[in-house]
């Protein structure tokens, strides 16, 4: 082997090592972006090799775009689910208010006294609140 052939072989080895280093760096950056976005390895492993290239910066930008798209869709789906849940949840019934004319204070007072004689503190508390709203 001549000196020129040896130099060429060494150059080819270094070139191949440089390519592997760039690919490894790109892969690491992409994995970092995906995991930073909250994705699990099994979620991005299928596309990882498709986006990894010899330019680590380009690979990182591509991974960031993919994550932005995925997280944007997740946010939209989450908001849609929240709206669906909130839209299908019945509104709670409104309690007794002081503006209702049909409430008889005397009847409530009698009911309160009966609850007090039984020692029914829960009922007493409810009736106290109703009486307070009438005042």
Q: Could you read off the pLDDT of 82-104 as tens digits, one per residue?
A: 888 877 777 766 655 544 545 57
- Quick one: 66 and 105 in the same domain? no
Please check whether residue 5 lies inside any domain of the structure: no
Is there a domain that residue 6 lies in? no
Domain interval for residue 125: 92-135
- pLDDT at position 95 is 59
Q: Same structural domain for residues 36 and 80?
A: yes
What is the distance between the alpha carbons of residues 28 and 37, in angstroms, rounded to a whole number? 14
Domain count, the chain: 2
Alpha helices, H only, the chain = 3-36, 41-51, 56-88, 105-118, 121-134
Whether residue 3 is contained in a domain is answered as no
Same domain, 107 and 78: no
Whether residue 97 sits in one domain with residue 73: no
Among 16-25, 72-81, 88-97, 125-134, top mean pLDDT goes to: 16-25
Residues 61 and 96 reside in one and the same domain: no
Residues 75 and 110 in one domain: no
End-to-end Cα, the chain, rounded Å:
109
Query: How much is the pLDDT for 127?
Result: 87
Q: Are 23 and 52 in contact (CB under 8 A)?
A: yes
CA dihedral sign, ordered 46, 50, 54, 55: negative
**Is the pTM value of this prediction over 0.85?**
no
Q: Are residues 71 and 132 in the same domain?
A: no
């Amino acid at each position: 082997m001549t000196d020129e052939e040896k130099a060429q072989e060494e150059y080819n080895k270094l070139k191949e090592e440089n390519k592997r280093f760039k690919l490894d760096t790109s892969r690491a950056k992409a994995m970092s972006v995906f995991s930073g976005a909250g994705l699990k390895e099994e979620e991005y492993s299928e596309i990882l090799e498709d986006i990894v290239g010899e330019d680590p910066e380009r690979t990182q930008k591509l991974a960031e775009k993919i994550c932005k798209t995925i997280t944007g869709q997740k946010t939209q789906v989450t908001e849609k689910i929240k709206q669906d849940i909130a839209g299908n949840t019945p509104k709670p019934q409104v309690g007794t208010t002081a503006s209702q004319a049909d409430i008889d204070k005397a009847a409530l007072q009698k009911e309160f006294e009966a609850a007090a004689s039984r020692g029914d503190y829960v009922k007493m508390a409810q009736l106290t609140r109703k009486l307070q709203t009438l005042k």
